[in-house]
Amino acid sequence: MAINFPNSPTNGQIFTSGGKSYEYNSTTGVWNRRPEATSPIPADISDLTDTTNLLFDGQYSSLAGAPTSSTAGALGTLTKTFVQNEEAEITLSETISPVPNVSVFKEVPQPGVSSKGNWDVNANATNYEFFDEKPISYSNVTLTPSATGDGTFSASHTSTTTYTLQNSSYSTGFSVSGQSVNPRDVAFKGDGTKMYVLDASKYIYEYSLSTAYDVSTASYIGSINLSPLESTITDTYGLRFNPDGTKVYVVDYSGKVWQFSLSTAWSISTTTYDSVSITGVVGSDGPPYAFTFKPDGTKLFAVADRRLYEWVLSTAWDLSSASISNQASGKNADYLQFSAYTNTNSHFAFDFASDGTKFVVRAVGSSGYSVGDGLFEVPISSAWDPLNSTTNSLSSDGTLGTGVVRYSGFSDASLDVTGFQFINNGNSAAVSVSGSIDAVYILDTTSTSPPFLSTDVGKKVVGNSGTAVITSTAGAYKSVTPFADTSAISSWQLFGAEGKADGSGIQLAGIAVNDAYNLSTASNDNKTFNASSQLTGAQGIAFKDDGTAMYLVGYTNDTVYQYDLSTAWDVSTASYASKSFSVAAQDAVPRDIRFK
């Protein structure tokens, strides 16, 4: 196809025809075709964090099979540190058809080839750019060393988990025996300044606490007898209040939950009966003896032996509006079964965490106190919906399900845990006990995470002009270079490797600990060998230097016997080598054996 170029062109004049550009050269008198524009090529593709030139450009659409886009280009970027064989996705700014294949390569150092400095590692790695292995979650964490030398770090990021029995311990109890001889449950005012104890005799006792949540500061105020308010109430077992202290609820021996009003909030002496109650489901596992509410008062949960029941309250805190959940004709579908926990009347203490993702229940195994007794923290898969949640919490032999925590601090045949309520925003729980002592204890229900991860142990902390190797998740460290002082270190780094001081290469940052011959570190690995076929009364033992042979001597037959060990130093792999040597002519009663 002929191209009609302009007449009388000037030098450098540009002319376009058929999608191609030409430039006039007046010296030669020729129109030269101009090269087509291409995308810039990155100067350095070895650094994977520089992804600004990962470009899919529509200008290549004329190539057969090339991806096409509706605009001049489709851009996708990714900034990431990869581990071996890891894959990642790059999201483009628009759809490309067909889907492009993208390959990413990382520079690998080659002998004799000059490269980036951090790849050309010299003998002692002084030019090596060691990676700071401090996790992102530590980015704003300060470390405070207890000493400039060996010591323990305290970390500002240490977090606390509440509503858990994971690391529970209890304080000195407060005896209520002056009022209650059979306490069955305990409840607290929300601010921790009042405590209430329910006795089996249908009495509620009120106490004032001069220090919130500290039962050692409790003093008795008064009581209320529920029998004159409602004569049909039987022995009482469970106690709860609504959040403002104007309602109180109890469950009795028949499994019925009763509702009362307080004309003066939190003053138990002003209690009157509301003429409202609900009857618990009484099945083969007996009636419920412990109950609790969802914090908004729209659900009530109760436990009988091995079963958990749920009621929905259409009007919060009003039992007259309660209906049992998922009640199916002919059977109870509204429970979780505590597998094979068959002891009668074993579930007395019960409460939920405030977010509804777990509950605590007292349980006793089918073999009694010797198996499985304790308080159990049971997670559920759906908050406040235990009936539709999955859990395999307990078993008759005391085996715990996934995520279940057992606290056995009150396990004693002479002591019954009768009540449990989370208090103080889940930092603690009130526990009532009956038996050898009638008292209320405060249980610590927090668990503090260690300052460091297990993967941090052995790594080196660098900061404040010093270095130290972490030796435990609790923050203990071994000093390498003393810190300038014990002030908080806000700017610090964490390294798992370092250059060797002798210039021979790279080593892990940890400190070698030699516990050889240290009997305090010994433990029994339960490996034995019976040599009675050769001798009785073994008195001495020796090993070959490489641990592949063992020698025994006994005083009854005055003979040294040799054994082969198929696994060095493992006596359980020993076998008689059919070799022996009598020392009877020299020693009638040999006691030990040694080799040069």
- If asked whether residues 407 and 457 sit together in one domain, one would say no
User: Which has the closest alpha carbon to 477: 444, 497, 451, 447?
Assistant: 451
- If asked whether residues 377 and 340 sit together in one domain, one would say yes
Tell me the pLDDT band of 136, cut-offs 50, 70 and 90: confident
pLDDT digits (tens, 9 = 90+) for 48-59: 444 333 333 333
- If asked whether residues 443 and 494 sit together in one domain, one would say no
Is residue 168, in this structure, part of any structural domain at all?
A: no
β strands within 176-265, DSSP E: 183-188, 194-199, 203-209, 218-225, 236-241, 247-252, 256-262
Residue 20 phi, psi dihedral angles, 5° rounding: -120, 145
Is residue 440, in this structure, part of any structural domain at all?
A: yes
pLDDT digits (tens, 9 = 90+) for 524-583: 777 888 888 888 778 889 999 888 999 998 877 788 999 999 888 888 889 999 999 888
For the purposes of burial, counting CB atoms within 10 Å of the CB of 287, is it exposed (0-12), middle (13-18) or buried (19 or more)?
Answer: buried
Q: Rounded to whole angstroms, what are the CA distances from 172 to 156, 175, 215, 495?
A: 30, 10, 9, 45
Is residue 263, in this structure, part of any structural domain at all?
A: yes
Cis peptide before 42 (omega within 30 of 0): no
> What is the reported pLDDT for 332?
37
pLDDT higher for 107 or 348?
Answer: 348
How far apart, in whole angstroms, are the C-alpha atoms of residue 370 and residue 375?
Answer: 14
Domain tally, the chain: 4
Is residue 5, in this structure, part of any structural domain at all?
A: yes
Is residue 265, in this structure, part of any structural domain at all?
A: yes
- If asked whether residues 373 and 478 sit together in one domain, one would say no
pLDDT digits (tens, 9 = 90+) for 260-314: 999 999 999 999 999 999 987 655 556 788 999 999 999 999 887 667 788 999 9
Q: Mapping DSSP to helix (H, G, I), strand (E, B) and coil, where does residue 390 land?
A: coil
Residue 567's domain spans which residues? 531-596
Least confident of 226-230, 336-340, 381-385: 336-340
Share of the chain above pLDDT 70, in %: 73
- If asked whether residues 328 and 419 sit together in one domain, one would say yes
How far apart, in whole angstroms, are the C-alpha atoms of residue 441 and residue 432?
Answer: 6
Pull the structure tokens for residue 423: 């208090």
Query: Is residue 497 within 8 Å of 124, Cβ to Cβ?
Result: no
Q: What angle do CA 11, 12, 14 make, to 5 degrees?
A: 125
How far apart, in whole angstroms, are the C-alpha atoms of residue 375 and residue 338?
Answer: 13
- If asked whether residues 430 and 458 sit together in one domain, one would say no
pLDDT digits (tens, 9 = 90+) for 508-539: 777 655 556 667 667 777 788 888 888 877 88
* Cα 533 from chain centroid (whole Å): 51
> What is the reported pLDDT for 222?
97
The answer, yes or no, to whether residue 132 has pLDDT greater than 80, is: yes
How far apart, in whole angstroms, are the C-alpha atoms of residue 455 and residue 192?
Answer: 40
* Cα 322 from chain centroid (whole Å): 37
Place of tokens 């858990």: 164
Least confident of 175-184, 198-207, 308-317, 339-348: 339-348
- If asked whether residues 5 and 140 sit together in one domain, one would say no
CA terminus-to-terminus distance, the chain: 103
How far apart, in whole angstroms, are the C-alpha atoms of residue 42 and residue 53?
Answer: 7
- If asked whether residues 485 and 436 sit together in one domain, one would say no
The answer, yes or no, to whether residue 365 has pLDDT greater than 70, is: no
Task: Please state the rounded mean pLDDT for residues 419-433.
Answer: 96
Q: Mapping DSSP to helix (H, G, I), strand (E, B) and coil, where does residue 341 land?
A: coil
How far apart, in whole angstroms, are the C-alpha atoms of residue 137 and residue 79?
Answer: 19
User: Which has the closest alpha carbon to 493: 529, 528, 516, 460?
Assistant: 460
- If asked whether residues 190 and 293 sit together in one domain, one would say yes
Task: Write down the mean pLDDT value for the chain.
Answer: 79
The answer, yes or no, to whether residue 343 has pLDDT greater than 50, is: no
CATH of the domain at 346: 2.115.10.20
Is residue 129, in this structure, part of any structural domain at all?
A: no
Is residue 73, in this structure, part of any structural domain at all?
A: no
Domain endpoint, select from 406, 428, 448:
448
Task: Please state the rounded mean pLDDT for residues 193-209.
Answer: 98
The answer, yes or no, to whether residue 368 has pLDDT greater than 50, is: no
- If asked whether residues 329 and 462 sit together in one domain, one would say no
- If asked whether residues 252 and 317 sit together in one domain, one would say yes
Share of the chain above pLDDT 90, in %: 37
Give every CB contact of residue 549 below 8 A, 6+ residues apart in sequence: 543, 562, 563, 564, 565, 577
Q: Mapping DSSP to helix (H, G, I), strand (E, B) and coil, where does residue 554 land?
A: strand
> What is the reported pLDDT for 356?
94
Is residue 120, in this structure, part of any structural domain at all?
A: no
The answer, yes or no, to whether residue 61 has pLDDT greater than 90, is: no
The answer, yes or no, to whether residue 257 has pLDDT greater than 80, is: yes
- If asked whether residues 318 and 429 sit together in one domain, one would say yes
Residue 137 phi, psi dihedral angles, 5° rounding: -65, -15
Task: Please state the rounded mean pLDDT for residues 471-479.
Answer: 90
pLDDT digits (tens, 9 = 90+) for 142-197: 999 999 999 999 888 777 889 999 888 888 789 999 999 999 999 999 999 999 99
